[in-house]
Structure 1
């Protein structure tokens, strides 16, 4: 059987183009018909974007008709054998044709509830992030979770799932073989099984899971063709050497520790994808005009010792040796944990790199937010990493009887806290990159019939501009003092973090942007509101970041964090193009 190719689709008559793509979007040939006018497409990614753009610009009624063209999962049409060949194969790939009576009954119940609430069928790309198929349990869990969505949010999620189904079908039509994505997804899954916890993924600094993860990363680096070692702070460092021994170093990588019950791609994507690229280059015998170092930073999250960027700060020469005496919840010092793991804390200072030896640092990371997802883009260029100010606030009022204390005589710590939450929201709303969050709010020893005498809350203020962030912090702290004075509440503040914003290098940003455009995609720039190792690396070299789309509404630091093998593939192609066009001429 002849394989359809992208050149075939670009050159065939419009009617043949529409016919070739007839099964890509369920019973909706109008999508291919409108996209045909935008040929030729320079890449498969560009074709996918064009098809998505047609749907995005369609009317609400057309979008709704597209959703309603899809069958229910394990529904009556499936039982009657009335599905398209594409839908039949997809549902079978996830075993929906082999449901137990209990699973079938549950799916019918969910289908009925969903249809009544939303008026269109539940749509899920059942072949999943890897294209190989989700389990029935995962499908049912996703079905139940999404029933809680609002109508507009769920409609947009269904449209995204339609595009993912179309992407998988296009891959099959064109016999696409992904070079990087499947390996990255499989290895993220393998690392996700190494955890400190019995359920979920937790990998804290220098725990057994952390050490096992480091050993596994080192093995993959060596197999890819890198000279590899684990340094004194626990960083896993692999070097793919240039032909010239005196060449400088481009560093890439991210962290391999996680938050408690975290996601599988946060940090780890930025290690695993570069390893896959090095393996590809090594198999081709292709060397770069600079040494490429892939670094799995040992610690970025601060879970065990409340000291962040331990791995990258050692490389920049800013590791705080006082942290070695910090103790975890079990009373184990960081120094003892390192020693027990076979590391020499006294050698950490020797890890520091000379800025003159570096070409720069580029970090690939899952976005951890919904911006790329909402724009239908697989990758984006980061402009800057927002600076952050974090505080812990303790409020002291008077605990008294809820029934006998008049409202105008109360010193209610929780009421003051509520006013502070609204103050933060008001001061940070509608001001560009500025965001403010009260993520922790506690009434110690609270009781239903007692006016709160104490309250604790956190403040997290971030912005791309340090000036804007610090001005907001000043206003909020002044506002807290005014609220407390008016309410007769005592206040105590502790500063937890003060991190300056880190702008990305315009030169490296433009090179990433050019690599994105070379892949047939539009360049899109966005801010990182989350902190990353690139913030620390910016102290000694130019930095850049490439974000990859995050699924499930942009959820991260959560087991629901997800991405696709296809998006990993796009990121790999972009990063590979970036590496091939970067040279070691700057400053020489």
Structure 2
């Protein structure tokens, strides 16, 4: 049987031959990677092969892509594929296409090749390695054919690496069982929704309560004691080897945005449960209590107030929110009561910081940085602070045909200039981003110069000084633009949240676990908010990011990740837990 040890020990020619089927008709990849031996792990081998492709010339990369067959193409129909490609296409039923599907794929292959100059490449075994449906393959084909060529070239190469990863697993007899369990759980929860057409799980709805019950059941099966607290947090505790130990907390949220993805928040709950299940199966205890907290609410969809679950844990729950009303006129307090929770117990949820070793959250990145770097994992350095405003602009509405260009007080033109100002200023700072997510011309008409415009500002950075400097420059620039155009302005501040740095000691320990897995330790900021921000009020925090697919998209049904990435994240997290000092 082929193992990492035998690959390390054999001659270079034997190494190349052993990996002959991993990258389609491209033995030069294994030949160059052989020079980097010995490999400490499968992850290190995958990384070395990927690095060879990344460092190759554009002509070599294109030759690699062109070595791959079309999906359900002429070579497949003629039985002329490699054994690996034949198995992969069959796993998704591409050898059983209907005449209509063959026609669709034939037309898509021709259009794609004409647009990009290489065949469409997709790891048809999918995120779990079990195979995508033909409908999913065609939908992905149709979506990606609209990409820019440079973006699609990078995506095609990523798909090549995913195909190689699956083939390496088969060669070495490796099954990402922990990651597959997490993916299966995410799929199960993804079917529990407030609506039939997409995944929406809002606070204290029936779907939310069913989701909590599923999580609680998996926690019990994993060997934890479980309770659901007065705000709906599902809390599983895996007791230490000795009683009276302090506690390390982990977890994330199980509510979703409307029409959301399957992994946001939920990965950070289900992955620790899977790790605990493995520890329990080996009858292994940690030197501290491990508490997995499935926070009931983080997104603010139903009652427009975020972090309800983690604020209760930190003792900062605002009891005034019990009177908040949803779109149906139901108060938050009534929603809790209808679900069987007593709001008078909320104060007792708060944890004693003296008993906590820290809080470590695992989360999908929700962005493209790890994906672009070809890395499955990253250690979060800080969670970005945020400044949010509504900007109201007042010009003069007048006739679009009779008012000369130089005599207009056009509020929408001022808004357009502000959008470009935000973009230009936020390109100047590291880990600084700015977004105008809302832009409205109230009562606008095609033949009337806009007399009013309303837009939002969202400025984020992991460094508060960087963020506040950008905000100051942007607000000053808005005033300058408005003065030059004769536009009145009004600013309404919506939010000001400071950045939350992660604890260096926990970052270092996570990074060391990443390196022990054979991967580089890379730090990166989080631009999104997380429950860890609230938990930082109570204890030291850290975060482990896991790579997103599909361009890093999140809060979207296209949000995706792989069982292999979940698996290595689970093994790194387990190693971190076992190596963590007790104080």
The TM-score, its normalising length taken from structure 2, stands at 0.98
Instruction: After TM superposition, give the deviation of residue 265 of structure 1 in Å.
Output: 0.5
Q: Does 2:491 align with 1:493?
A: yes
Aligned to 2:134: 136
Counterpart Cα distance in 2 of 1:162 and 1:32: 14
Counterpart Cα distance in 1 of 2:531 and 2:132: 33
Aligned to 1:202: 200
Counterpart Cα distance in 1 of 2:450 and 2:464: 35
CA contact (8 A) 2:412 2:441 kept: yes
Aligned to 1:255: 253
CA contact (8 A) 1:290 1:583 kept: no
Aligned to 2:38: 40
CA contact (8 A) 1:258 1:266 kept: yes
Mapping of residues 162-561 of structure 1, within 5 Å: 162-561=160-559
Instruction: After TM superposition, give the deviation of residue 274 of structure 1 in Å.
Output: 0.3
Aligned to 2:561: 563
Instruction: After TM superposition, give the deviation of residue 495 of structure 1 in Å.
Output: 2.1
Instruction: After TM superposition, give the deviation of residue 481 of structure 1 in Å.
Output: 3.0
Instruction: After TM superposition, give the deviation of residue 469 of structure 1 in Å.
Output: 1.3
Instruction: After TM superposition, give the deviation of residue 179 of structure 1 in Å.
Output: 2.9
Aligned to 1:104: 102
Instruction: After TM superposition, give the deviation of residue 459 of structure 1 in Å.
Output: 0.7
Instruction: After TM superposition, give the deviation of residue 426 of structure 1 in Å.
Output: 2.1
1:190 is paired with a residue of what secondary structure? helix
Counterpart Cα distance in 1 of 2:72 and 2:460: 46
Counterpart Cα distance in 2 of 1:296 and 1:396: 46
2:330 is paired with a residue of what secondary structure? coil
Counterpart Cα distance in 2 of 1:304 and 1:488: 40
2:5 is paired with a residue of what secondary structure? helix
Counterpart Cα distance in 1 of 2:383 and 2:166: 33
Residue 75 of structure 1 is aligned with which of 73, 85, 93? 73
What is the number of equivalent residue pairs in this alignment?
583
Alignment RMSD (CA, Å): 1.1
* 487-496 or 350-359, larger mean C-alpha shift: 487-496
Instruction: After TM superposition, give the deviation of residue 197 of structure 1 in Å.
Output: 1.9
* 213-222 or 397-406, larger mean C-alpha shift: 397-406
CA contact (8 A) 2:228 2:235 kept: yes
Question: Deviations for 1:131-161, whole angstroms, at most 9, x for unmatched residues?
Answer: 0000000000000100001111111111000
2:351 is paired with a residue of what secondary structure? coil
* 148-157 or 91-100, larger mean C-alpha shift: 148-157
Aligned to 1:95: 93
CA contact (8 A) 1:379 1:546 kept: yes
Counterpart Cα distance in 2 of 1:481 and 1:108: 56
Question: Deviations for 1:153-197, whole angstroms, at most 9, x for unmatched residues?
Answer: 111111000000000000001110223110110110111111112
* 21-30 or 487-496, larger mean C-alpha shift: 487-496
Counterpart Cα distance in 2 of 1:40 and 1:142: 37
Question: Deviations for 1:385-432, whole angstroms, at most 9, x for unmatched residues?
Answer: 010111122223232221122223322221121121122112211211
Instruction: After TM superposition, give the deviation of residue 208 of structure 1 in Å.
Output: 1.5
Instruction: After TM superposition, give the deviation of residue 475 of structure 1 in Å.
Output: 2.5
Question: Deviations for 1:13-45, whole angstroms, at most 9, x for unmatched residues?
Answer: 111111110000000111111111111111000
1:114 is paired with a residue of what secondary structure? helix
Return closer, same or farther for 1:490/1:330 CA change in 2, 3 Å cut-off: farther
Instruction: After TM superposition, give the deviation of residue 239 of structure 1 in Å.
Output: 0.3
2:465 is paired with a residue of what secondary structure? helix
Question: Deviations for 1:360-380, whole angstroms, at most 9, x for unmatched residues?
Answer: 000000001111111111101
1:455 is paired with a residue of what secondary structure? strand
2:322 is paired with a residue of what secondary structure? helix
Counterpart Cα distance in 2 of 1:312 and 1:87: 47
Residue 574 of structure 1 is aligned with which of 572, 575, 578? 572
1:31 is paired with a residue of what secondary structure? helix
* 262-271 or 474-483, larger mean C-alpha shift: 474-483
Instruction: After TM superposition, give the deviation of residue 466 of structure 1 in Å.
Output: 1.2
In structure 2, runs of 5+ residues without a counterpart are none
In structure 1, runs of 5+ residues without a counterpart are none
Q: Does 2:51 align with 1:50?
A: no
Instruction: After TM superposition, give the deviation of residue 444 of structure 1 in Å.
Output: 2.0
Counterpart Cα distance in 2 of 1:192 and 1:299: 16
1:180 is paired with a residue of what secondary structure? helix
Instruction: After TM superposition, give the deviation of residue 332 of structure 1 in Å.
Output: 1.8
2:177 is paired with a residue of what secondary structure? coil
Counterpart Cα distance in 1 of 2:203 and 2:475: 33
Aligned to 1:8: 6
* 47-56 or 399-408, larger mean C-alpha shift: 399-408
Instruction: After TM superposition, give the deviation of residue 102 of structure 1 in Å.
Output: 0.5
CA contact (8 A) 2:429 2:466 kept: no
* 240-249 or 68-77, larger mean C-alpha shift: 240-249
Instruction: After TM superposition, give the deviation of residue 241 of structure 1 in Å.
Output: 0.5
Counterpart Cα distance in 2 of 1:424 and 1:435: 9
* 155-164 or 11-20, larger mean C-alpha shift: 11-20
Counterpart Cα distance in 2 of 1:118 and 1:427: 34
1:133 is paired with a residue of what secondary structure? coil
